[in-house]
Every structure is written in C-alpha cells, then in structure tokens.
Amino acid sequence: MEDDSIQVTAAAALLFAKYPMRFFPNSRIRFIRYEGSREEVGTAMNIIKQSTIEGPLPVMLEQAKKFISSQLRDFTSLDPLSGKFATVPEYPEFAWLEGVVNAVTHRAYNIMGDDIKIKMFDDRLEISSPGRFPHIVNRDNIKQVRYSRNSRIARALTDFRWVRELGEGVKRMYKEMEDFFLDAPEYTESESSVILTLKNNVVMRRIRKEERISSLISPAWDDLNDYEKMAIEIVYNRGRITTNQLHQFSGRSKNFCTKTLKELCEKEILTHISTSPTDPNQYYTLK
C-alpha cells in the first residue's frame, strides 16, 4: 500500500482480474489449425480453424485444455499381444498441456505486441510463447534447470495445481513423448519467442499401420486394388465396415462397393455379418 491506496501487481491482474486484457492486451492464447504441414499465405492460405482464448490465467488454461483436446485426433492400431484394437491420442495429453501451461506461466508479459500462439499442423503442434528463455535456462538444460521469470504467477498456478513442483513437468513431457514412440519435444528460440514443437509422426504411423495390415493378410496385400485396401483400412480403424461407409469414403457406386466387399470375403480377408440378405444392419469385419 502507498498513501492508503491498494497497488495491484501485474501478477494479480493476470491471475484474478475479470478482464486481464484491459491491462495486458495480448494476455491471451490464439489457436490456429492449418491444413497440411506448411503455413501458406495469400490465395493459398490454408487456415481451417481459429479461436482466441481469453480470461484470467486459471480460467484461460481450463478453456484451452478443453478446446485443444477437442481438436486433436485419435489413432487406432491393433495390439498384437491382445489381438484387440487400441486407440491412442495424437499426442500424450500431459505433453501438450504442460507446453501450454509453461507458455502461460513463463511468457514475457512486458511484450505487448504478441500472443501465445498454438499452431496445429497435420504432423506437429507448435506452442509459441513471447519472450526468450529466462535467465540461465536454455534449450540444452531445460530439463535440468528451473527458473521462473514470473515467480508469483508460477507460485499461484502451483497452488491451482497447474504448475508442477521441482521442475518435474518438462522431464515428464519428454518421457511421455518417448512412451508414445514419438520424437522428443523440440525447443527453439526466435528473436522474440520460445517455440515448443511436438511431432505426431503421422507419416510413420501410417507406414506402420500398413505394415501391420499387410502382416495380417500377407501375402494378399500387394495383389489388392486401391479400393480393396481402402476398405481394409476402414475395417482396421473402425473394427467394421458397411457398404454405405465404403461408398462415402471412395465416392464409387454402392453396387461397386458391395462387389468389392464380397470379393474380399471370397479372398477370405473379410467376414460378412448379417441375419438375412436384406438385413439393414449388415456389416463386414476382418476374418
């Protein structure tokens, strides 16, 4: 207090003000989703989703968690040990959420001209936080060295259980990515931001999926046409397929799709499940 008046700190405004942007116009998160793996401009602009997340930091983090989770994909694969289909998220939740929490906690709030940006591409997620690495932290020692640019914000978010104690969050982020057989997180530093990149390895996931499918029906895989392979991939991902689903995915006529699925049954790759020839709920599964 000075002269019997209350002085509100920057941390208090960011954490508890109803509209923190009145004091810090760029204290928000911008989410941008792109089609493809590059950021195009002009007539080739490939932005397919944008959203701005605002509010006091604890509220903003909760909203960001829900929204980003709704944008991420799931990948389905066959567990060779159990013989059952298993669905895993595009990225481990802890890894991307820790990246967002760190961006909110450690950004340089004195930089007024930029937001925290989360860019989603087909093959990666980029989380950009305004400001350079704080003090003694750098990209090489970030797993071992802990230093907070905004100690009051970090302490408050620790009490809210967003920030991890003893720097365990970054270490666990690396471990979670490794457990998902994904590349290690990558930190880079531009002139004005620290950028965390998480790669989903979507290309390798597809290659591995095709290898698994091929191993299930080998040696027939190489002799199949593109529509037969498409049908098998749909069954592999969803557990079953109907004529209408293959029609929607392939764009071919329903008669063509029915013929394709029947031929896969004749090749003893699929099994036709129905109670009668006119059963409206009939479908096909892997044999």
pLDDT digit string, tens, across residues 56-82: 999 999 999 999 999 998 876 555 455
Q: Are 173 and 164 in contact (CB under 8 A)?
A: no
Domains of the chain: 10-200 (3.30.565.60), 203-286 (1.10.10.10)
Q: Residue 219 to residues 207, 216, 234, 237, 268: CA-CA distances in angstroms?
A: 17, 9, 19, 21, 12
Predicted confidence band of residue 1 (pLDDT cuts 50, 70, 90): very low
Please report the pLDDT score of residue 253 as a whole number. 93
Q: State pLDDT tens for residues 182-241.
A: 889 999 999 999 999 999 876 655 655 666 666 666 656 778 888 998 888 888 777 789
Predicted confidence band of residue 40 (pLDDT cuts 50, 70, 90): confident
d(CA 239, CA 87): 11
d(CA 222, CA 212): 13
Handedness of CA 60, 126, 34, 39 (dihedral sign): positive
Q: How many CA atoms lie within 13 A of 55 on its CB side?
A: 9
Cβ neighbors of 200 (< 8 A, separation 6 or more) are 90, 91, 123, 124, 125, 182
pLDDT of 15 above 60? yes
d(CA 228, CA 13): 59
Return the closest-CA partner of residue 120 out of 70, 155, 165: 70
H helix runs in the chain, sequence order: 10-16, 57-71, 93-106, 151-159, 168-179, 202-217, 226-238, 243-250, 254-266
d(CA 61, CA 99): 11
Return the closest-CA partner of residue 269 out of 228, 227, 208: 228
Report the 10 Å Cβ neighbour count for 120: 22
Return the closest-CA partner of residue 120 out of 194, 233, 29: 29
d(CA 285, CA 202): 25
- Average pLDDT on 259-266 reads 93
